[in-house]
Chains A and B, each alone.
Chain A
Amino acid sequence: MSVESVFPRLEALLPLVTKPVQYVGGELNAVHKEWDDVAVHWALMYPDAYEVGVPNQGVQILYEVINERDDALAERTYAVWPDLEALMREHGVPQFTVDRHRPLGAFDLVGMSFSTELGYTNMLTALDLAGIPLHAVDRDDTHPVVIAGGHAAFNPEPVARFVDAAVLGDGEQAVLRITDLVRDWKAEGRPGGRDELLLRLARTGGVYVPAFYDVDYLPDGRIQRVVPNRPGVPWRVAKHTVMDLDAWPYPKAPLVPLAESVHERMSVEIFRGCTRGCRFCQAGMITRPVRERSATTVAAMVDNGLEKTGYEEVGLLSLSSADHSEIAVIAKGLADRYEGTETGLSLPSTRVDAFNIELANELTRNGRRSGLTFAPEGGSERMRRVINKQVTEDDLIRTVATAYGNGWRQVKLYFMCGLPTETDDDVLQIAEVARRVIETGRRASGTRDIRCTVSIGGFVPKPHTPFQWAGQLDHETTDARLRLLRDAIRADKQYAKAIGFRYHDGKPGIVEGLLSRGDRRVGGVIEEVWRNGARFDGWSEHFSYDRWMTAARTAFEGGPVDVDWYTTRERDHTEVLPWDHLDSGLDKDWLWEDWQDSLAEVGVEDCRWTPCFDCGVCEQMGTEIQVGPTGVTLLGMPPLPPRGEDLLAAVPAPGTAL
């Protein structure tokens, strides 16, 4: 059965909406396959606007590994803005993929990539526009299987009623395994229907099917236990970890959209995982261990990606890029290789202590020294000990002195407000740090024409981190501290003009906190707020705190829990957490010890250069740290393939008519 494009019906609506180009597809390196040529059809959704979703590396990687198979296809879909949503409802146009404009409801599988919890309401819009029942329990054999992935899927309980399954961790191998299972089940004539398929997925041990687990609650609202309700379904579902990233050099053909996106550059992931041990950082905790790509693979991916995309900037991505054991080899090698080609390199996520000037100079040979960004995260030395961000103020000052002394004029500093045990004084210390930065910068550069921007947001405790037990700071106190800090920065006339201050108010963080550490009962809030019009909650112009709080009161009415219970309440050691049956590899006792160490301001080292401290991941997951240095250089690489040679052949002399 072939599936028709909805484009002819969509096309008539496009002149009526903003930025119609985001709905037409046409990306360079998009793959178009015939529906009937394959057995398994995946729709991959990034539930945010196209401009945010299209550069997402996770979706691009899965899109490519699925499309490389002969028996499967993958297409992509993104959240439509409210103007188009209204027109689609009026004209009966379903949620569609941008590749071939096929209706979402026709696919076997819908993969939802949740980098953040704030995409949950957009998922509901897409399912509803697709005619897919919002509740998994209401779906039948004609509906796609909806699978959540991405970092937020490490606690999928708030969306448990909406998704059929969730996959934790790296997706490359997991989607291939799922594709095999779905293909075989379809080839056998779909025995046992949807239920049997979900059971087969659950029994692999690597796919979480919420419907196969019952959650019991205590009278006070806490969870009593979570137990499987089907034989053969594991008590705990494990995350996936891809070992040997050199064997998975994706994306090999990065997508280049026609529309402008939030990342107008190519990205190459240079390693996965981080063991610096920052206690607030969910990404660092759930992606362990560190697995580096070798310098030669990185260089080959850069070469190949530039040739396939025509981008002129490459970002070397990871959670802390300067920590790659061969970053100097990579940076110098690539800077040499692309010297004189207008190709720029960038290194997002650089730690203060890992910054070094040779590296920074290599990356800016073309003279662009616009700005450097560092994230001390905590304002005071004490705060940084609590969060295990092992960077001293003197480290920071030394680093910025070097930067200002070498031609940089702007330094951006990221901090958090509302960290455990924080006081007003800890936050006010940020103003002191900023003053020292400016003072140092003026001396090092010999000019007053330098700037420092302080950017600060509210801390949200996340599952699978040592702070998963912490009480979140209420938004009133967060906002009051940010006001104190702002006033302190502005008070000193000598520096006020040189220091920029950007902050996010505390309210969105409370909603994020509710969704991050919520359980299945929070699903009722998500549904209620969506019915009341919540869309694009990551966008301040669309987000409404009051709408969320009203929905929460309705959904939690008559029960023992409320928003504060999920957010500002500190949990104790014995409480069953909603995600305890989801295995990130981290030993819960180790996390608790690290939480206690945090309160005692005791640090923990990085296991890449000190002995293992038993976080539990490698043992539980059968993984190991994969880092260099391997001792390679990039000098042995073949020279850059010349481009445009055929164009230069047989050139007519000037003035000769053709």
Chain B
Amino acid sequence: MARQAPVRDVAPTVQRLRLRYAKRGRLRFTSTRDFQRALERALRRTGVPMAYSQGFNPHPRISYTNAAPTGTASEAEYVELALVKRLDPERLREALDEALPDGLDVLEVVEVRTPDLAARLEASVWTVELPGVGCEEASSAAAAFLGCDRAEVSRLTKSGMRTFDAREPVVRLETREASPGADGTPCAILDLVVRHVTPSVRPDDVLAALRLVADLVPPIPARVTRLAQGPLVDGASDGDPRRAVSDPLAADRD
């Protein structure tokens, strides 16, 4: 017979806060789990009055959504916290940003006033730097990719090897030239807007598709940054790629 977990006197949640944070520089190599441990410890060090779950191993109530893959930088990661005492969101932002290492930077905190942030994270805007790849080569590969109806790629996921279409969720793919590096090597940049689907299509999958349809093989691993996540904006196929999605926290602000 399993023993009963002690019924504990758990304080109720009185406030929920949503955070946007960035993963920058060398800390882009942290995994989601690395970030979760760092955040939970930072919350304890700063004394944030977290709500805890019941059971043998109570956990602070934190929801993580849609984390960027290990090795990918991001300016737009989202986390939701449940608290047992009310806090000033901006004070929490400052304290938590101070407690986390440089490179895991808390950019904004808002109080939750609307349900379902995850549903508003419809798409991601990515920028993909390809050192050693010329802009023309990248453009023609992108054109070949966009000309396909489907572009099947395979990736090992939690549920085993999956094959899926990397073309359909790509709302936008443009190329431009970065200023060349100190040694004069060219560097193409891909601006990429991808709808969130299951299984998720990541920049790596699009790069795998570019290799398959156009033999684009970057000599150096690409540097990928997520610039934004949010609801897709109508007419998202041109203009500043960051405008392709709107602010997912806008509804909580007013």
Contact = CB atoms under 8 A, between A and B. Distances in A.
Q: Which interface residue of B43, B44, B90 has the most chain A CB atoms within 10 A?
A: B44
Q: Which interface residue of A23, A311, A367 has the most chain B CB atoms within 10 A?
A: A367
A20 B2 CA distance: 40
B88 A449 contact: no
Interface residues of B, number: 49
A645 B88 contact: no
B106 to A, nearest CB: 13
Given A24-B27, A651-B86, A646 B91 contact: yes
A445 to B, nearest CB: 10
9 contacts: A21-B29, A21-B31, A24-B27, A258-B37, A259-B34, A646-B95, A650-B88, A658-B90, A658-B111
Interface in A360-379: 366-369
A201 B33 CA distance: 45
B42 interface: yes
Interface of A: 7, 11-12, 14-16, 20-21, 23-26, 28, 256, 258-260, 264, 306-312, 342, 366-369, 407, 409, 447, 449, 642-654, 657-658
Interface string B18-32: 000000001101110
Contacts of B85: 648, 651
A588 B191 CA distance: 73
Nearest to A652: B88
Contacts of A658: 88-90, 111
B37 A260 contact: yes
B121 to A, nearest CB: 23
Nearest to B49: A644
B34 A258 contact: yes
Interface in B57-84: 57-58, 70-71
Contacts of B70: 20-21
A490 to B, nearest CB: 26
A310 B57 contact: no
A310 B40 contact: yes
B250 to A, nearest CB: 14
A658 B87 CA distance: 11
Nearest to B72: A15
Contacts of B58: 342
- Per DSSP, chain A at the interface is loop
Given A447-B1, A654-B86, 18 more contacts: A12-B221, A15-B221, A21-B31, A24-B29, A258-B38, A260-B37, A309-B45, A310-B44, A342-B52, A367-B6, A449-B2, A643-B45, A644-B47, A646-B95, A649-B91, A651-B85, A654-B15, A657-B254
B41 interface: yes
Contact of B45 (A14, A310, A651): A310
B119 interface: no
Nearest to B103: A26
B30 to A, nearest CB: 5
A393 to B, nearest CB: 28
> Which 6 A-B residue pairings sit nearest by Cβ, starting from the closest?
A644-B47, A643-B47, A310-B41, A15-B221, A310-B45, A310-B44
A14 B26 CA distance: 10
A648 B84 CA distance: 11
B5 A11 contact: no
B249 interface: no
